Structure 1
Amino acid sequence: MRKISLVIFALFPIHFLFAQTNLLNDFPKGYTPEEVGELIAYRFVDAKHALHGGKWISYPETFYWRGALKYAATTKDKKLFKLLENKFEPLFSTEKELLPIKNHVDLNMFGCLPLELYQITKKKSYLKLGLPYADTQWEVPNDAKPEQKEWAEKGFTWQTRLWIDDMYMITIVQTQAFKVTKDSKYIDRAAKEMVLYLDELQRPNGLFYHAPDVPYYWLRGNGWMAAGVTELLRYLPTDHKDRPRIMQGYQIMMESLKKYQNQDGIWNQLIDEPDCWPETSGSAMFTYALITGVKQGWLDAEKYAPVARKAWMALVPYVDKKGAVSEVCVGTNKKYDKQYYYDRPRRTGDYHGQAPFLWCIVALMEK
């Protein structure tokens, strides 16, 4: 009897761990990543451009496009991939003027899109288009402001501004450049920048102010940080000198998100304000970070798999039959005014929300 008990006890942790991980693999009809992903990804095919300042492909569109590409690659949907690639082709010719210029953190990140296409197709034209967006982020222009030159002299990008949004914008294009070139300078840049933002903006509770002079825990801003640090950790070498610091910042943040998750499964526009409204884009970014952390073994599956599943199950009902996500905060600049964040308009189908749902979907489908 004693031997049988010992065997059961020894096997229990294995079965329990499997059960926790399975929380992110087994979903009821209507909630599977394949069903939701197809709706959202195909919606982008015929969608209009969302231009930055009315001139260039914007970062929300870039991320939506890249998310749809990753979904197509993950599901091996050749039809979808061809439609997405065909949509890009005019940017080499008739829509060339829509290519973002390379003078701002929100514009340079466009490079991650052609670099994603290069990884899938190996077409040199995509590499040639995408890589300069990563390089110019560290090439100081002649008209740079004094404070921008100061950042560059310290080894950071001249586009540094200490807004938490930056930690996805900068990280995504630099990690993509590292993936396609294997040149460590790109991942080193991203890691150095991430440590700076962690040191300057992360608070003792694990969350981040929007900026040093804006002491509010804005949801999507924190979402950008969560997604950015997750992307970086996926590709940062295990022996990299900055990995322990970055992993520490990530894990402290995830612990805080577990604490602030609403009973219904998502998070509020201002994370620490119970009377603020639930917002979907930032919540999806958190969910992506949590799913990836559990699957990569960075987070304890027993504690965090239920948190990630609860969030996903809460998010799916916000997707309508046409693949449009509702309750998405519009683009938001920093402002020293708490009510400003409460009053931000909410939209359905805004690209800020479409993209992070696809990140969650791809993460759920990954083995």
Structure 2
Amino acid sequence: MMRSNLLILLLLLPLHFLFAQKNALEDFPDGYSPEEVGKLIAYRFVYANHALHAGKWIGYPETFYWNGALNFAELTADEMLARFLQNRFELLFSAEKELLPIKNHVDLNMFGSLPLRLYRMTDDQRYLQLGLPYADTQWQVPADAKPEEKAWADNGYSWQTRLWIDDMYMITIVQTQAYNVTGDCKYIDRAAKEMVLYLEELQRPNGLFYHAPDVPFYWGRGNGWMAAGVTELLRHLPADHQDRPRILRGYQKMMESLKSFQRPNGMWNQLIDEPDCWAETSGSAMFAYAFITGVKQGWLNADEYTPAARKAWMALVDYVDERGSVAEVCVGTNKKNDKQYYYDRPRNAGDFHGQAPYLWCVNALLEK
């Protein structure tokens, strides 16, 4: 009888462990639940001022913060928040029309992902008509394009290709959203082709990415853009797509490296591989998003990555104040072949570069 009970217990252990792993990304103490944190951060956006690119147009940090808040409103069925966010966008059709980004740079074309997200929520054709040209013009070479831009286009890549790792969120997000709303495979094919190029050109043997070929440093948020971009692309890339195996390998190689560099407290550093560098929140949130999604989608071994994902989330929440402002966010950063430059970057609280990735984590935790 004892042997029989022991056998039953051994058979049930894997099932018990599976539930424990699942609950590790669902059950959080008071103050740490994605619903609580998400509400603080999402509603903060409603009352925030614009964060303009070059002082002229809606910038990418605001675009992604807005997108994250919309996704949170939809996941939590918060109709009031959704209405606030849509009303704010309505001004871009009228009084604030001049703030719509022009379509001549990778950091501006990504704006199209926002109206395309709104189109998926509302079926309002105005959003589709506004958003789709941002995806199309990434592949339409302007007359004044530089020779190197034309060369990229001649090989089937975006003329906005520049081999900065940041691009792998900026380009893939708008192309993926265009695919989601149109069903036209050319958009997802573009995103996948571009991702394979960046993986081949920029991923190092250790799985991480230099900021650019001429800047040999593992900058946190730069790698975060890649981690989030490849995660977002894999979420929407068809299972039988020819580039999926290559992209999944690159993602898994990166995640393995990130797990090895995670600090004992759950965070990652501004320069990932430098132990004396400071812990930075925006990149850490992007890595946490990639871990959470990978575990839930089955791309990562749950036994290994669930504890790392939970530890990251718990650490990240401690940087959020009672007004929904995220601290220790590296400011906007251009590439520079100078390691000290990355050490010395100023840190802000409430910077949209950090607010958006926190909502990505929130939404990933809430999604079933």
What is the TM-score of this pair, normalised by structure 1? 0.99
Partner of 2:52: 51
Partner of 1:313: 314
Residue 259 of structure 2 is aligned to residue 258 of structure 1: yes
Give deviations 1:219-241, integer Å, cap 9, x for gaps: 00000000000000000011111
Partner of 1:81: 82
Separation (CA, whole Å) in 1 of partners of 2:152 and 2:198? 13
Partner of 2:185: 184
Separation (CA, whole Å) in 2 of partners of 1:139 and 1:22? 47
Give deviations 1:309-367, integer Å, cap 9, x for gaps: 00000000100111000000000000000000000000000000000000000000011
Aligned positions of 1:92-241 closer than 5 A: 92-241=93-242
Separation (CA, whole Å) in 2 of partners of 1:214 and 1:268? 17
Partner of 1:269: 270
Partner of 1:280: 281
Structure 2 spans left out of the alignment, 5+ residues: none
Separation (CA, whole Å) in 2 of partners of 1:265 and 1:36? 18
Separation (CA, whole Å) in 2 of partners of 1:174 and 1:30? 36
The runs of at least 4 aligned residues of structure 1 exceeding 6 Å deviation read none
Q: Secondary structure at the match of 2:318?
A: helix
**What's the CA shift for 1:7?**
2.7
Name the aligned partner's letter for residue 34 of structure 2: P
Separation (CA, whole Å) in 2 of partners of 1:123 and 1:153? 35
RMSD: 0.7
Partner of 2:342: 341
Separation (CA, whole Å) in 2 of partners of 1:111 and 1:21? 35
Partner of 1:329: 330
Name the aligned partner's letter for residue 201 of structure 1: L
Separation (CA, whole Å) in 2 of partners of 1:117 and 1:240? 27
Give deviations 1:201-250, integer Å, cap 9, x for gaps: 10111100000010000000000000000000000011111000000000
Separation (CA, whole Å) in 1 of partners of 2:10 and 2:154? 58
Separation (CA, whole Å) in 2 of partners of 1:365 and 1:291? 10
* Identity, % of aligned positions: 75
**What's the CA shift for 1:12?**
1.4
**What's the CA shift for 1:57?**
0.2
Separation (CA, whole Å) in 1 of partners of 2:62 and 2:48? 10
Check the 8 A contact 1:56/1:100 in 2, yes or no.
yes
Give deviations 1:107-126, integer Å, cap 9, x for gaps: 00000000010000110000
What is the TM-score of this pair, normalised by structure 2? 0.99
Partner of 1:243: 244
Give deviations 1:59-110, integer Å, cap 9, x for gaps: 0000001100000000000000000000000100111110000000000000
Partner of 1:71: 72
**What's the CA shift for 1:45?**
0.4
Partner of 2:359: 358
Q: Secondary structure at the match of 1:217?
A: coil
Check the 8 A contact 1:265/1:314 in 2, yes or no.
yes
Name the aligned partner's letter for residue 213 of structure 1: D
Structure 1 spans left out of the alignment, 5+ residues: none
Name the aligned partner's letter for residue 105 of structure 1: V
Pairs aligned (count) = 367
Q: Secondary structure at the match of 1:278?
A: coil
Name the aligned partner's letter for residue 273 of structure 1: E
Check the 8 A contact 1:21/1:294 in 2, yes or no.
no
**What's the CA shift for 1:21?**
1.7
Separation (CA, whole Å) in 2 of partners of 1:95 and 1:35? 32
Name the aligned partner's letter for residue 140 of structure 1: V
**What's the CA shift for 1:146?**
0.2
Separation (CA, whole Å) in 2 of partners of 1:7 and 1:320? 47
Check the 8 A contact 1:109/1:172 in 2, yes or no.
yes
Separation (CA, whole Å) in 2 of partners of 1:354 and 1:15? 35
Separation (CA, whole Å) in 2 of partners of 1:15 and 1:250? 29
Check the 8 A contact 1:194/1:229 in 2, yes or no.
yes
